[in-house]
């Protein structure tokens, strides 16, 4: 990759900019976009006006696409942190449910002589892939103990007799959607009648989508700052003095319940009528400048980060929102 373009999302306007005469002699190799181009499963890419048609044009023109979306939302220095910094919040901390944990760790215990067979079966079902590395596992030797019951057919040991078996603990990561297949492969390859295995959610890799911090102001004063810094047609619900501000870039009304106990006002986009009513009834004011508007500070941060790595073109201001002012 020698030249990268950073954009809010891949729209027709962005594609036209990529195909411009100015880039004809030195085209872009990679587009780094915030929003996904394809939100739904797509079985084919054909020329059309739909998102799949835009994906078709990227493939046709040999341009790769990387999307950061929710991973950048929760990242340190990412979308949420950038919005908090833009508004001048102090003592900023994270809040909200954990996001970004899409993998699990599958752990099992296997007699030493069967360890490779079981690990190979798990890898074949999709476990153990970390970046460009496959069949990744962690193994440690230990001792398993058990007493086979009267109706058991033990591979190791004898019925009714306490048995100590040299075993290997095998740990492998897997995408959340592949855990069932990995577990089935583990069971099929394991020599025991009743294999012991555990599945752990990878919470340590997750992040929180919201930020909350200190800011001494009023709802109306903050709304004016939001309008000045972010643009957009700012909508305001509620009023009063503010000491604590919560921010969620994009569409954050689903997290009103998380924000209400810790903040006086929530700055986010896409807040509907009934959720705004609910927020005010909880004592939480709402400032809504629009979805894309709350993401603009983060887009500047994304461009700044990418531009430290390679030659980068700033397309972040091209068609960031489908809305326009009447």
Can you list the positions of beta strands (E) in the chain?
A: 3-7, 30-33, 64-67, 90-99, 103-111, 138-146, 163-175, 197-201, 207-218, 235-237, 241-251, 265-269, 285-288, 311-315
pLDDT value, residue 206:
58
**pLDDT value, residue 100:** 55
Q: Please give the pLDDT value at position 205.
A: 54
Model pLDDT, residue 262: 97
Note the pLDDT tens digit of each residue in 130-176. 877 899 999 999 999 999 999 999 999 999 999 999 999 999 999 88
**Long-range Cβ contacts of 216-219 (<8 Å, 24+ apart):** 216/242, 216/243, 217/241, 217/242, 218/242, 219/264, 219/265, 219/285, 219/287
Domain 103-205: assigned CATH number: 3.30.70.120
Instruction: Outline which parts of the chain fall under CATH 3.40.1390.30.
Output: 3-67+296-315, 72-99+207-289
Q: What CATH number should be reported for the domain whose range is 72-99+207-289?
A: 3.40.1390.30
290 with 323: CB under 8 angstroms?
yes
Q: What is the pLDDT of residue 50?
A: 85
Residue pointed to by tokens 């780094």: 32
The whole-number pLDDT of residue 204 equals 56
Residues of the chain falling short of pLDDT 50: none
| pLDDT for the residue numbered 94 | 94
In CATH, which of 3.10.50.30, 3.40.1390.30, 3.30.70.270, 3.30.950.10 is domain 3-67+296-315?
A: 3.40.1390.30
Element (H, E) at 189: helix 179-189
pLDDT reported for residue 31: 97
């Amino acid at each position: 990759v020698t030249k990268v373009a950073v954009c809010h999302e891949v729209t027709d306007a962005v594609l036209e900019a990529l195909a411009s005469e100015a880039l004809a002699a030195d085209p872009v190799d990679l587009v780094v976009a915030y929003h996904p181009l394809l939100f739904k499963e797509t079985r084919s890419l054909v020329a059309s006006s739909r998102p799949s048609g835009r994906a078709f044009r990227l493939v046709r023109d040999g341009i790769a696409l990387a999307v950061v979306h929710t991973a950048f939302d929760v990242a340190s220095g990412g979308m949420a942190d950038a919005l908090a910094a833009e508004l001048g919040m102090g003592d900023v901390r994270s809040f909200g449910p954990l996001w970004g944990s899409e993998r699990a760790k599958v752990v099992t215990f296997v007699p030493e002589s069967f360890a490779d067979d079981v690990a190979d079966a798990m890898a074949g079902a999709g476990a153990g892939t970390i970046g460009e590395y496959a069949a990744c596992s962690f193994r440690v030797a230990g001792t398993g103990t058990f007493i086979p019951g009267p109706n058991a057919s033990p591979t190791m040991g004898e019925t009714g007799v306490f048995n100590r078996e040299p075993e290997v603990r095998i740990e492998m990561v897997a995408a959340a959607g592949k855990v069932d297949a990995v577990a089935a492969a583990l069971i099929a390859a394991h020599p025991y009648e009743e294999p012991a295995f555990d599945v752990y959610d990878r919470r340590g890799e997750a992040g929180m989508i919201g930020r909350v911090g200190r800011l001494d102001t009023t709802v109306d004063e903050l709304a004016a700052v939001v309008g000045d810094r972010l643009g957009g047609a700012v909508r305001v619900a509620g009023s009063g003095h503010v000491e604590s501000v919560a921010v969620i870039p994009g569409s954050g009304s689903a997290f009103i319940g998380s924000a209400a106990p810790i903040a006086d006002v929530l700055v986010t986009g896409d807040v509907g009528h009934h959720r705004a009513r609910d927020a005010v009834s909880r004592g939480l004011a709402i400032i809504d400048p629009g979805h894309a508007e709350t993401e603009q500070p983060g887009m500047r941060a994304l461009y700044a980060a990418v531009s430290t790595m390679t030659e980068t073109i700033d397309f972040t201001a091209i068609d960031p929102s489908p809305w326009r002012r009447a």
